[in-house]
A = this chain, B = another copy of it.
Amino acid sequence: MRIRFIWPGKTKSGDLRSLEAAYLKKIRLRAECEIVETRAARGMNEKLPDRIREFEAGGLEKQVGGDYIICLFHEGQDMTSDEFAGFLDRNGAVGGRRLAFVVGGFLGLDENFLKKADFRLSLSKMTLSHELARIVLMEQVYRAMTVLKGQNYAK
Protein backbone atom coordinates (compact mmCIF):
# COMPACT_ATOMS: atom_id res chain seq x y z
CA MET A 1 0.00 0.00 0.00
CA ARG A 2 1.28 3.46 -0.87
CA ILE A 3 -0.03 6.32 1.22
CA ARG A 4 0.62 10.05 1.15
CA PHE A 5 -0.65 12.66 3.55
CA ILE A 6 -0.83 16.00 1.79
CA TRP A 7 -1.62 19.38 3.30
CA PRO A 8 -0.72 23.01 2.80
CA GLY A 9 2.11 24.17 5.02
CA LYS A 10 3.93 22.72 7.96
CA THR A 11 1.86 21.87 11.05
CA LYS A 12 2.54 24.73 13.45
CA SER A 13 2.15 22.99 16.79
CA GLY A 14 5.45 21.35 17.74
CA ASP A 15 3.63 18.68 19.74
CA LEU A 16 1.39 17.77 16.82
CA ARG A 17 4.38 17.75 14.46
CA SER A 18 6.13 15.38 16.78
CA LEU A 19 3.04 13.11 16.80
CA GLU A 20 2.94 13.23 12.99
CA ALA A 21 6.52 12.01 12.87
CA ALA A 22 5.76 9.22 15.35
CA TYR A 23 2.74 7.97 13.39
CA LEU A 24 4.62 8.26 10.10
CA LYS A 25 7.31 6.01 11.51
CA LYS A 26 4.74 3.47 12.71
CA ILE A 27 2.80 3.46 9.44
CA ARG A 28 6.03 2.95 7.49
CA LEU A 29 6.46 -0.42 9.18
CA ARG A 30 3.42 -1.53 7.18
CA ALA A 31 3.23 0.63 4.06
CA GLU A 32 5.08 3.14 1.90
CA CYS A 33 4.15 6.45 3.40
CA GLU A 34 5.15 10.10 3.30
CA ILE A 35 3.91 13.52 4.35
CA VAL A 36 3.87 16.20 1.66
CA GLU A 37 3.62 19.84 2.70
CA THR A 38 2.41 22.00 -0.18
CA ARG A 39 2.39 25.78 -0.44
CA ALA A 40 0.40 27.56 2.24
CA ALA A 41 -1.20 30.96 1.86
CA ARG A 42 0.86 33.52 3.70
CA GLY A 43 0.14 37.19 4.05
CA MET A 44 -3.05 36.86 2.02
CA ASN A 45 -6.15 38.75 3.07
CA GLU A 46 -8.20 36.50 5.35
CA LYS A 47 -11.31 38.35 4.26
CA LEU A 48 -10.95 36.54 0.96
CA PRO A 49 -11.07 32.91 2.13
CA ASP A 50 -12.08 31.62 -1.33
CA ARG A 51 -8.91 33.03 -2.81
CA ILE A 52 -6.78 31.49 -0.07
CA ARG A 53 -8.38 28.08 -0.56
CA GLU A 54 -7.95 28.36 -4.34
CA PHE A 55 -4.28 29.28 -3.93
CA GLU A 56 -3.67 26.32 -1.65
CA ALA A 57 -5.63 23.98 -3.94
CA GLY A 58 -3.17 24.88 -6.73
CA GLY A 59 -0.33 23.46 -4.65
CA LEU A 60 -2.29 20.35 -3.68
CA GLU A 61 -3.28 19.56 -7.26
CA LYS A 62 0.32 19.36 -8.39
CA GLN A 63 0.80 16.44 -6.00
CA VAL A 64 -2.17 14.18 -6.57
CA GLY A 65 -2.06 13.30 -10.28
CA GLY A 66 -3.14 9.70 -10.74
CA ASP A 67 -3.70 9.15 -7.02
CA TYR A 68 -6.90 7.98 -5.38
CA ILE A 69 -7.78 11.23 -3.62
CA ILE A 70 -9.41 11.14 -0.20
CA CYS A 71 -10.27 14.58 1.17
CA LEU A 72 -11.15 15.22 4.79
CA PHE A 73 -14.47 17.03 4.76
CA HIS A 74 -16.88 17.64 7.63
CA GLU A 75 -19.85 16.70 5.46
CA GLY A 76 -18.11 13.64 4.08
CA GLN A 77 -18.86 10.00 4.77
CA ASP A 78 -18.24 8.77 8.29
CA MET A 79 -17.28 5.21 9.10
CA THR A 80 -16.11 3.02 11.94
CA SER A 81 -12.42 2.14 12.28
CA ASP A 82 -13.10 -1.36 10.96
CA GLU A 83 -14.99 0.00 7.97
CA PHE A 84 -12.08 2.39 7.37
CA ALA A 85 -9.63 -0.52 7.43
CA GLY A 86 -11.76 -2.31 4.82
CA PHE A 87 -11.88 0.87 2.76
CA LEU A 88 -8.06 1.14 2.79
CA ASP A 89 -7.74 -2.53 1.90
CA ARG A 90 -10.09 -2.23 -1.10
CA ASN A 91 -8.67 1.01 -2.45
CA GLY A 92 -4.99 0.64 -1.61
CA ALA A 93 -4.41 -2.90 -2.76
CA VAL A 94 -0.98 -3.83 -4.09
CA GLY A 95 -0.60 -2.65 -7.68
CA GLY A 96 -3.44 -0.22 -7.24
CA ARG A 97 -3.38 3.54 -7.12
CA ARG A 98 -1.50 5.47 -4.50
CA LEU A 99 -3.78 6.82 -1.77
CA ALA A 100 -3.59 10.58 -1.22
CA PHE A 101 -5.16 11.80 2.01
CA VAL A 102 -5.65 15.54 1.73
CA VAL A 103 -6.34 17.78 4.72
CA GLY A 104 -7.02 21.48 4.23
CA GLY A 105 -5.43 24.44 5.92
CA PHE A 106 -7.12 26.56 8.59
CA LEU A 107 -9.83 27.62 6.13
CA GLY A 108 -10.49 24.13 4.81
CA LEU A 109 -10.39 22.85 1.25
CA ASP A 110 -11.34 24.58 -1.98
CA GLU A 111 -14.79 23.63 -3.29
CA ASN A 112 -13.52 22.69 -6.75
CA PHE A 113 -10.74 20.58 -5.32
CA LEU A 114 -13.27 18.76 -3.14
CA LYS A 115 -15.32 17.96 -6.25
CA LYS A 116 -12.31 16.22 -7.79
CA ALA A 117 -11.85 13.95 -4.77
CA ASP A 118 -12.54 10.26 -5.22
CA PHE A 119 -13.80 10.15 -1.66
CA ARG A 120 -14.77 12.67 1.02
CA LEU A 121 -14.18 11.38 4.54
CA SER A 122 -15.50 12.78 7.81
CA LEU A 123 -13.63 11.85 11.00
CA SER A 124 -16.23 13.27 13.35
CA LYS A 125 -19.51 15.11 13.41
CA MET A 126 -17.57 17.65 15.45
CA THR A 127 -15.34 20.22 13.82
CA LEU A 128 -11.72 19.38 14.61
CA SER A 129 -8.92 21.89 14.20
CA HIS A 130 -7.20 21.16 10.89
CA GLU A 131 -3.93 20.34 12.65
CA LEU A 132 -5.52 17.96 15.15
CA ALA A 133 -7.51 16.33 12.33
CA ARG A 134 -4.19 15.41 10.69
CA ILE A 135 -3.19 13.42 13.77
CA VAL A 136 -6.57 11.75 14.18
CA LEU A 137 -6.38 10.72 10.53
CA MET A 138 -2.87 9.33 10.87
CA GLU A 139 -3.88 7.44 13.98
CA GLN A 140 -6.79 5.88 12.08
CA VAL A 141 -4.55 4.87 9.19
CA TYR A 142 -2.13 3.29 11.63
CA ARG A 143 -5.01 1.56 13.43
CA ALA A 144 -6.30 0.27 10.09
CA MET A 145 -2.88 -1.21 9.33
CA THR A 146 -3.00 -3.04 12.65
CA VAL A 147 -6.52 -4.31 11.97
CA LEU A 148 -5.53 -5.48 8.47
CA LYS A 149 -2.43 -7.19 9.78
CA GLY A 150 -4.59 -9.06 12.30
CA GLN A 151 -6.98 -10.10 9.55
CA ASN A 152 -4.09 -11.36 7.46
CA TYR A 153 -2.75 -13.35 10.38
CA ALA A 154 -6.17 -14.86 10.94
CA LYS A 155 -6.41 -16.06 7.35
Given A81-B126, A124-B124, the answer on whether A139 and B132 have CB atoms closer than 8 Å is: yes
Cβ of A135 under 8 Å from chain B: yes
We find that the number of chain A residues with CB closer than 8 angstroms to chain B is: 24
CB-based nearest B residue for A22: B15
| Bitwise interface map of A from 11 to 40 toward B, beta carbon under 8 Å scored 1, else 0 | 001011011001000000000000000000
B79, A125: Cβ atoms closer than 8 Å: yes
* Identical chains in the assembly: 2
Residue from B79, B125, B127, B132 within 8 A of A135 (CB atoms): B132
User: Can you name 7 extra interface pairs (CB under 8 A) apart from A81-B126, A128-B139?
Assistant: A15-B15, A16-B19, A78-B126, A81-B127, A124-B136, A127-B143, A132-B136
For this complex, 14 residue pairs linking A to B, each with C-beta atoms less than 8 Å apart, are A15-B19, A78-B124, A81-B126, A81-B127, A84-B126, A123-B124, A123-B126, A124-B124, A124-B125, A124-B126, A126-B136, A128-B136, A132-B136, A132-B139
